[in-house]
Amino acid sequence: MYFKLRNIVWFCAAAAFMVAVLPLVVYAQIYKEEPPWVYKGRGDRYLKAGEPGKAIVEYKKALISDSGSKRAYPEVNMRLSEIYLDEKLYDLALLYIESAQEEEQYLQIPDTIYDIRYTRAEIYARQGKYLDAISVYEKIIHEDPNWRRYGGQDIYVIDGTSLGDPEAKKKYGKAYFELGKIKFDLQNYDNAIPFLKIALMYDFKKEETLKYLVNCYKELNNSVQAEKAQSLYTEK
C-alpha cells in the first residue's frame, strides 16, 4: 500500500512538472533567437520574391538580439536602405546607409563599401542634394590611381585609351559616369568632360557615356572634337 501511494505521489509530481515546465520548453524552442545570418537569408528570399515588407521584418530581427542590444551588420543595413530608397522613404534610407557605412569594418566582403557609397550618393541625388552626391562620388574616384593619371588631362585630348581592368571598372566606373552626368545636367560641360572620358576608358555604359561626351563638345561649339570622340569610341 505504501509503495502504491508513493508511486501515485511521484506520478502526480511528474505530471505537475510537465504541465508547468513543458510549455516553457516548447516556447523556448519555437521562439528561441536564431543566428543573424538566418534572418538575413530569410529576408533576402522575401525580397527576391517581391515581398519587401516581410523582408524588412526579418532584416530588423537580424539587427537586434533578444536581449535588445544592437548588432553590427552593415550588409543588412544596406539592404534596408535599398528597400526604403525604392519606396522613396529617403530619410529612412539615409539613416540605414549611414549605419552601414559606420560599420564598414564588419563587412564580410570589404569591397561592398562601394555599394554602400553608391547607395548613399543615389539617396542624395534623389533628394536633390547634388553637392552631397558629388562629394561621395569624388571620394570614390580619388581612390582610383587612374584619376591621378588622366584626371588632369586636357579636355580636348582624346585618343581612345581603354582601361581593361574589370575590378577597377566595378569600383570606379559608375562614379565617373554619375559625376559627368550631374555636371552635364548642371550645364557645366567643360567640367563634365574629364569624368566622362574616364568612364569611357572603363567602358562603363559606353553608348550613354559617349552620347553625353559628344553633346558636351557640341555645347562647347567644338563639333570637330565631338566627331573625333564619336569615331574613336564607336569603332571599339
Do 113 and 155 reside in the same domain of the chain?
A: no
Please, are residues 33 and 67 in contact by the beta-carbon 8 Å criterion? no
Residues 111-124, mean pLDDT to the nearest whole number:
97
Residues 102-117, mean pLDDT to the nearest whole number:
94
Containing structural domain, residue 108:
20-128
pLDDT at residue number 71: 77
Do 182 and 112 reside in the same domain of the chain?
A: no
How many structural domains are present in the chain? 2
pTM: 0.79
8's grid cell: 501515485
Q: What is the CATH number of the domain that holds 175?
A: 1.25.40
pLDDT at residue number 105: 93
pLDDT at residue number 108: 92
pLDDT at residue number 70: 76
Three-class DSSP category at 230: helix
Three-class DSSP category at 64: strand
Tell me which of 102, 128, 154 is where a domain ends. 128
Question: Considering the domain boundaries, does residue 135 fall inside one?
Answer: no
Confidence category of residue 18, pLDDT binned at 50, 70, 90: very low
- pLDDT digits 0-9 by tens, 156-191: 777 777 887 899 999 999 999 999 999 999 999 999
Three-class DSSP category at 138: helix
Do 39 and 65 reside in the same domain of the chain?
A: yes
Question: Considering the domain boundaries, does residue 1 fall inside one?
Answer: no
Instruction: Name the residue type at position 24.
Output: L
Do 203 and 233 reside in the same domain of the chain?
A: yes
Distance from C-alpha of 3 to C-alpha of 231, rounded to nearest angstrom:
104
Question: Considering the domain boundaries, does residue 79 fall inside one?
Answer: yes
Residues 10-19, mean pLDDT to the nearest whole number:
49
* Per-residue three-class SS string for 68-134: CCECCCHHHHHHHHHHHHHCCCHHHHHHHHHHHHHCHHHCCCCCHHHHHHHHHHHHHHHCCCHHHHH
Do 119 and 158 reside in the same domain of the chain?
A: no
